[in-house]
Amino acid sequence: MRSVSSALPAKEPAHEYELDQELLSKLALVPLTGAADRMTLINRQRRHCHNPRGLSEPGHPGQRGNLVASLLVTGTRPHLQADLEWLDRRQEALT
């Protein structure tokens, strides 16, 4: 039996910090295939939200004086927090 991960290959989402449709699809298909555990998928996404690539604190030496970079980092945080809260609610619903 093929795993959900092989049936739905990983890809870079259009916006790295969005909770993309791939995760939602995998969560929906996991019970049908038994190829993975929903909690494993949720925890993997949670780790991704806690450790986003390329996102550093405003004031990082490479960003000092860069207003655009500072605004992007500041604007991304609420989206990551919303994703983490959504994952928490899904985990509560599944347990």
- Please count the other Cβ atoms lying within 10 Å of the Cβ belonging to residue 38: 17
Contacts of 41 (CB under 8 A, 6+ apart): 23, 26, 27, 30
First and final C-alpha spacing in the chain:
26
Q: Are the C-beta atoms of 77 and 17 separated by less than 8 Å?
A: no
Tell whether pTM > 0.85: no
Per-residue pLDDT of the chain (95 residues; tens, 9 = 90+): 444 444 444 444 455 445 567 788 888 888 888 877 888 888 888 888 877 665 655 555 555 667 887 787 788 888 888 888 888 988 888 88
